[in-house]
Amino acid sequence: MSGNTERLNTALAGRYKIAKQLGQGGMATVYLAHDEKHDRKVAVKVLKPELAAVLGAERFVVEIKTTAALQHPHILPLFDSGTADGFLYYVMPYIEGETLRGKLNRETQLGIDEAVRITTQVADALDYAHRHGVIHRDIKPENILLHDGRPMVADFGIALAVSAAAGGRMTETGLSLGTPHYMSPEQATAEKEITGRSDIYSLASVLYEMLAGEPPHGGGSAQQIIMKIITETAQPVTARRRSVPPNVAAAIAKALEKLPADRFESAKAFLDALANPTFATVGVARGPRRLAAVGFGIPAMVVTGLLIAILAAAAGWLSARRGVAAAMPPSRLAIDEPVSGVAFSGIARTVDISRDGEKVLWLATHPLGARVLVRRLDAPTAQPVANSASMLHLKFGPDGRSLYAASGASMQRISLEGGTWTPITGMERTSFYSFSKDGELWWSSAVGYGTYRRGADGRDSLVFPRSTINQVLPDGRHAIAVAVTPAANTGSVQYLDLRTGEIKGVFDSPIVEVRYTMGYLLYVTSDGRLMAAQFDSEAGVITGPHMEIATGVSVGGGGIAQFAVSDNGTVVYIPGASSDLVRVSLSGNLRVIGDMPRRFHSPRISPDGQRIAFDDVSPVEGRDVWVYTQGVTSPTRATFQRDGHDVSWMLDGRGLYYASGNVGRIDLFSMRFNSTAAARAESVGVEVAYTGTPLPAGGFLATVPGATGHGLDIAILRPRAGKADTVLASPADESFAVPSPNGKWFAYISDHSGQPEAYIRALGGGTTQLQVSLDGASEPMWSRDGRQLFYRRDTPSGAELVAASLEFGAEPRVVKRTSLFDVSNFDTASPHANYDVSPDGTWFVFARRSGSDHVVVLQNVPELARRLARGAAAR
């Protein structure tokens, strides 16, 4: 459990016992808990700390009590609410099932009868609540739970309670309450008086999506969607699905009227119309109409302002075509995908935005396994990319229709419109590559630190030996880069002439990465600050002050900042992430080891169980190996190459093996404690995907780049002989190789069956193979006595650690599989396990992530920078 979860458990002791986190939304985190007084499962929702900070606890509790009296078969009741140790919470029944959003993500469109049934039952709940003076204000698929197919409306009145308790100070929280696809026009224009007819509009929008597969209005940004809600009549649902009955289409059209008075007078009237085959209304077949054609009862001043905004948007578009930022106001949004979190990598890019600013992609954690998600900013949800579980170094192709990424040691490409991954010959895995507008590719080595140009013949030429390219500029003749060395993760900004090879310094302040958009340089510092400075891209000089745009951008070793920029001034980034080192017993009891939040990676327990080695990704200190000793407050740094990682203990516990790329490629190194000798390269003449594990008979079992040019293989590295012997190779991915303690067997993960599963094989040869897992696996790890194999298994509700008990007779076999405890909040790694088991088999060490659960979207950053500069000048 996280520190917050432990603190919450303490605060609620005697009332509720938290079992695990179920998910997060825009306002709250939801936990599965046990109601100790009534002996039942409940869902406890805890408001986000930044939201609770501006709410008065007493006011919140008073406001939320208005919903407690609601009793209806389609309303999820409110059991309890209160404040404890600074937490504001409310309690509801725990419902086995899924949300309507989950069902729509899976099916896109529902059957007409089913969609109408769900809507009429929700409408009945709304009618009941409205008659009792309660308006929901936030009807959307995420707030409709399906229990055995029966809808139940959740969070009834919570939006009202929060907004009322906040006293109009919601903007102080910095939180987004989600995409506005289901918002009524009166909500969009911030009307003070919201009636039940607003809920009717929202419910009609949900029904529209259930039938058509998308909400009535879409757009590239929240502003665009809101503008359409206010100014455009939705396309008739029959234009998107002809089989919708006329009365249903007519009822939807009436419920979606802009003027509240033109909608149904009650939710019951709406459900009656849906059930009445003869219901009809004038103008059902009309097409989209705009503000200039009709009046909506919006005050004249608001109408005039909207027209001005539309004209300003058009003028801004023309200005953007000339390289000047648009006049639309800047905005700060969050992509908070249901169920999924955001995976963090300190050494690879895991977020990007398309050149046109319409699509965002990122590597997401998910109960069914990590994968890359792509989301259009005008879409309600994201879509997963096929077979993307192990993909890193993410980047949109120049047309925004393809994805470049790395699997194993090779870069690959896939069409986002459907297809398979295709290797890119000769290009090493890297996060530093950029396309000019004509599609020419420039890339920088993540190991050798030089920048290459890929010619039309597919060959690479080294053009800038000591520069890491960040972006080719719009003119196609210049680029911006960072001057780096193997011993640094930051550098000065450079202006490169791609035709002559000339390099000019832009400014010397060390930064992690830099981008250009619409007359501004945007760059990230080592402490995660996003900065902007006006820039003359033709002369390559700064022409304005440096302004701080945001803080908390995730940065790591190897010159990686988790941010990306589009041509239209939109920026996306992953907020800063860190992790704790935690000790977990076989029963799942957890305690934090020391007080040292870092970006822990690959923790390994020493043979005597007294020390834990790990590597830490730091933008200041680089990436190196540290050792924590039981009973000592702070860890000790063990390597100083600024690129030491993926550690393994020597079998006698007197030293470490680790990987480093400072020699120009990833190689193995060894270092002994209490020795004055420098770390020694264990060169074997082959690049490794990670360090590997020492074998009793000598050498290392390691995962290596696939000999077939795709995926990963398994080999024994023999440094003394200067060679590597392949143990297992195929067109599939074979990874996570780890030998048994006696050196006779090895465990690994292979996806040759269509999904990753855990297997064991004899290490000395032979064809004996045993499939250990049955329904997916990753990160295998042996017990020190070799009688159990642990592995991670993803489940529909999260992930768990499984112990497979093994028996070795004439043939190995699995005796029993036991689920140990939930590991959903623990970091994963590839192609090796990101945890370890103690020598006595009674406890484990994990890296528990904390930080990012969303991607931040900043729109029109150049305009934000101008406003900040004007404000600074005025002061």
3-state secondary structure 371-434: EEEEEECCCCCCEECCCCCCCEEEEECCCCCEEEEEECCEEEEEECCCCCCEEEEEEECCCCEE
- Rounded Cα gap, residues 685 and 256, in angstroms: 68
Three-state SS at 25: coil
Q: What is the pLDDT of residue 809?
A: 83
When pLDDT is cut at 50, 70 and 90, the band that residue 619 belongs to is low
* Closest to 363 measured CA to CA, from 324, 315, 405: 405
Q: In this structure, are residues 615 and 645 in contact, taking their beta carbons and an 8 Å threshold?
A: yes
pLDDT(324) > 80: no
- Rounded Cα gap, residues 574 and 345, in angstroms: 11
Q: Which two tokens stand for residue 163?
A: 């907004």
DSSP calls for 301-314? HHHHHHHHHHHHHH
- Rounded Cα gap, residues 344 and 851, in angstroms: 9
User: Is the pLDDT higher at 693 or at 418?
Assistant: 693
Domain map (residue ranges) of the chain: 3-298, 331-577+855-874, 578-850
Residue 262, Cα to own-chain centre: how many angstroms? 41
Q: What is the pLDDT of residue 496?
A: 94
DSSP state of 661: -
Q: In this structure, are residues 612 and 604 in contact, taking their beta carbons and an 8 Å threshold?
A: yes
Q: State the greatest distance between any 2 C-alpha atoms of the chain, in Å, as a whole number.
A: 91
* Closest to 360 measured CA to CA, from 343, 383, 341: 383
Q: Which two tokens stand for residue 187?
A: 């909500």
Q: Which two tokens stand for residue 476?
A: 């196609």
* Closest to 704 measured CA to CA, from 722, 720, 727: 727
Does the bond joining 831 to the residue before it have cis omega, within 30 degrees of 0?
A: yes
Kind and range of the H or E run holding 361? strand 359-365
Q: Determine the Cα angle at 253 with ends 251 and 258, to 5°.
A: 125
Three-state SS at 449: coil
* Closest to 667 measured CA to CA, from 649, 631, 641: 641
User: Is the pLDDT higher at 629 or at 688?
Assistant: 629
Burial class (CB in 10 A: 0-12, 13-18, 19+), 488: middle
* Inter-CA distances, 233 with 83, 212, 286, 496, 754, Å: 44, 16, 9, 50, 46
Q: What is the pLDDT of residue 320?
A: 38
The overall average pLDDT reported for the chain is: 81
Q: In this structure, are residues 136 and 127 in contact, taking their beta carbons and an 8 Å threshold?
A: no
Phi, psi of 499 (to 5 degrees): -90, -45
Q: What is the pLDDT of residue 300?
A: 36
pLDDT(815) > 70: yes
pLDDT(347) > 90: no
Amino acid at 519: G
Q: In this structure, are residues 804 and 788 in contact, taking their beta carbons and an 8 Å threshold?
A: yes
- Rounded Cα gap, residues 473 and 539, in angstroms: 12
Chain segment 405-428, per-residue pLDDT in tens: 987 567 888 998 877 888 887 787
Q: What is the pLDDT of residue 215?
A: 93
Intrachain domains 3-298 and 578-850 with the same fold: no
Span 842-856, average pLDDT: 79
Most confident of 22-31, 202-211, 527-536, 567-576: 202-211
**41-50, 295-304, 632-641, 774-783: least confidently modelled range:** 295-304
Which phi-psi region, left, alpha or beta, contains residue 423 (left: φ > 0; alpha: ψ -120 to 50)? Answer: beta
Q: What is the pLDDT of residue 98?
A: 87
* Inter-CA distances, 159 with 60, 130, 250, 284, Å: 11, 15, 29, 32
| Catalytic annotation, residues | 138
Span 769-778, average pLDDT: 90
pLDDT(314) > 50: no
Most confident of 302-316, 550-564, 617-631, 855-869: 855-869
When pLDDT is cut at 50, 70 and 90, the band that residue 312 belongs to is very low
Architecture of the domain defined by 3-298:
Orthogonal Bundle (1.10)
Q: What is the pLDDT of residue 587?
A: 87
When pLDDT is cut at 50, 70 and 90, the band that residue 584 belongs to is very high
What is the CATH number that goes with domain 331-577+855-874? 2.130.10.10
Q: In this structure, are residues 639 and 646 in contact, taking their beta carbons and an 8 Å threshold?
A: no
Percent of the chain with pLDDT over 90: 34
Span 4-22, average pLDDT: 85
pLDDT(166) > 60: no
Amino acid at 634: S
- Rounded Cα gap, residues 40 and 761, in angstroms: 45
Kind and range of the H or E run holding 51? helix 49-52
Q: What is the pLDDT of residue 188?
A: 81
Q: Which two tokens stand for residue 336?
A: 């908070």
pLDDT(171) > 50: no
When pLDDT is cut at 50, 70 and 90, the band that residue 604 belongs to is very high
- Rounded Cα gap, residues 344 and 392, in angstroms: 10
- Rounded Cα gap, residues 534 and 521, in angstroms: 6
pLDDT(73) > 80: yes
**73-77, 281-285, 374-378, 829-833: least confidently modelled range:** 281-285
pLDDT(18) > 70: yes
When pLDDT is cut at 50, 70 and 90, the band that residue 79 belongs to is confident
Q: In this structure, are residues 572 and 557 in contact, taking their beta carbons and an 8 Å threshold?
A: no
Span 817-832, average pLDDT: 83
Burial class (CB in 10 A: 0-12, 13-18, 19+), 782: buried
Span 823-835, average pLDDT: 80
- Rounded Cα gap, residues 499 and 566, in angstroms: 24
pLDDT(803) > 90: yes
When pLDDT is cut at 50, 70 and 90, the band that residue 305 belongs to is very low
pLDDT(364) > 90: no
When pLDDT is cut at 50, 70 and 90, the band that residue 676 belongs to is low
- Rounded Cα gap, residues 610 and 286, in angstroms: 75
Superfamily of domain 578-850, CATH level 4: TolB, C-terminal domain (2.120.10.30)
